[in-house]
Amino acid sequence: MKKILYITTGIQGSGGVSRILSVKLNYLLNYYNYEIVVINSNYIKAPFFYDFSKSIKFYHIQHDTFFSFKNKVLEVVERENPNVVVNCDNGLKGTLLTYFFKKNIPIVYERHCGKYINSSGIIDFLKLKLSNVLLDRIIMRYRLFVVLNKQEKQTWQGSNLEVIPNPLWFDPPLKVNKLESRFVVAVGRQSVEKRYDKLLRIWKDVVKQYPDWILKIYGEKNEKLKLDELVSKLKLKDNVKFFDPVSNVEEIYTQASMLLTTSESEAFGLVLLEAMAHSIPVVAFNGTSGTDMLIQDNINGFLVEKNDFNMFIEKVCFLINDKDSKKLLGNRAKSFAKEFEIKSIMQQWDNLFQSIS
């Protein structure tokens, strides 16, 4: 039995990385009989939002400095002696780790974010910049460097680059969403790069024409963004509702008529794929690799030129009015989503691990 050790950070939460890791790790354990060990840094004592198999061995570590983090990680690696290490910590401290591993352990870098993302402050920006500079220089220290799409691959340079997208982690529902409700959804934590401020301003103009439509936003709240205040300022209290994240996506997608996203950084739009699997058309701004790889404009959704608010509003209103087009786009979206079925994606991961261990 081969042992894979994952290094990640804060996976108790409801974000997309936590979702995907819970799915992938459980699958590797249950279907390929790998032994899975996880180092979870930045640990906060809290229950897992998603289900991880009880057979997965966790090391929850806390640290004050990079050196305490490094020492604790190396201690676990020495104790567990894995066949492969997968680094999913895309921050600065995770980037630096490769300098300290023994050369006989194959290390895979699993990139869950784009190379260029918006940051919430100057410190985060500088950390990201430094991390990217370091990665450009040390990328070949990794046995393999895995990104989520071909466009992201082009932003890096190295002969060890691989593309493996995230899987659709559930079977598309047999029951067809009739797309007859008068509400749309947006899904994702409240963060700078999601640009919910733009979405709210767009929605303001939509409800001028369709005052009985509601936008439901699901995700971890961030009071610093003051989105509640913006809703009040735009007089949208009756047309915008915020909800906590849910682990059961059926609660979100079985009734929604469309999904909207104004995100400025997506390496892989997992929520887009989830919505598409439920026959829900998506309206999104283009220019992010994870959105552009999933949405085929006017075929399975709409891709709008970045920051063209008027066209975004026009596409939303078009779908509200044209039920036949909405259903056609939704049906095509569901068919496209099947290309990411979990069996084929996880076969790629198994092949990768077998080839380097």
d(CA 195, CA 191): 7
Write down all domains in the chain, each with its CATH number in brackets. 3-167+341-356 (3.40.50.2000), 183-340 (3.40.50.2000)
d(CA 151, CA 267): 9
Give 2-66 as a DSSP string.
-EEEEEEE-TTSSSHHHHHHHHHHHHHHHHH--EEEEEEES--S---SS---TTSEEEE---SSH
Going by C-alpha positions, the residue among 119, 121, 107, 241 that lies closest to residue 185 is 241
Cα 338 to Cα 173, 272, 299, 342, 350: the distances in Å are: 11, 13, 15, 9, 20
d(CA 13, CA 27): 20
341: β partners: 168
Q: What is the pLDDT of residue 124?
A: 64
Q: What is the largest CA-CA distance in the chain?
A: 63
Q: Please report where in the chains the tokens 């090391």 appear, as a residue.
A: 59
SS3 315: helix
Q: In what order do the strands lie in the sheet with 107-110?
A: 57-60, 35-41, 3-9, 84-87, 107-110, 144-147, 161-163
Q: What is the pLDDT of residue 340?
A: 95
The encoded tokens of residue 313 equal 């509003």
The encoded tokens of residue 126 equal 């500088």
Q: What is the pLDDT of residue 123?
A: 62
Is 292 within 8 Å of 301 (Cβ atoms)?
A: no
Q: What is the pLDDT of residue 275?
A: 94
Q: What is the pLDDT of residue 134?
A: 76
Please indicate, yes or no, whether the overall pTM of this predicted structure exceeds 0.75.
yes
Q: What is the pLDDT of residue 118?
A: 53
Q: What is the pLDDT of residue 121?
A: 59
The encoded tokens of residue 160 equal 């060890």
SS3 106: coil
The encoded tokens of residue 254 equal 């079985």
Give 60-94 as a DSSP string.
E---SSHHHHHHHHHHHHHHH--SEEEE---SHHH
The β-bridge relationship of strands 3-9 and 161-163 is unpaired
Residues of the chain with pLDDT under 70: 115-129, 131, 267
Give 130-187 as a DSSP string.
HHHHHHHHHGGGSSEEEESSHHHHTTS--TTEEE-PPPB-SPPPSSPP---SSEEEEE
d(CA 195, CA 142): 33
d(CA 355, CA 346): 14
d(CA 74, CA 95): 14
Q: Please report where in the chains the tokens 């998506």 appear, as a residue.
A: 282
Other Cβ atoms closer than 10 A to 98: 17
Q: What is the pLDDT of residue 288?
A: 79
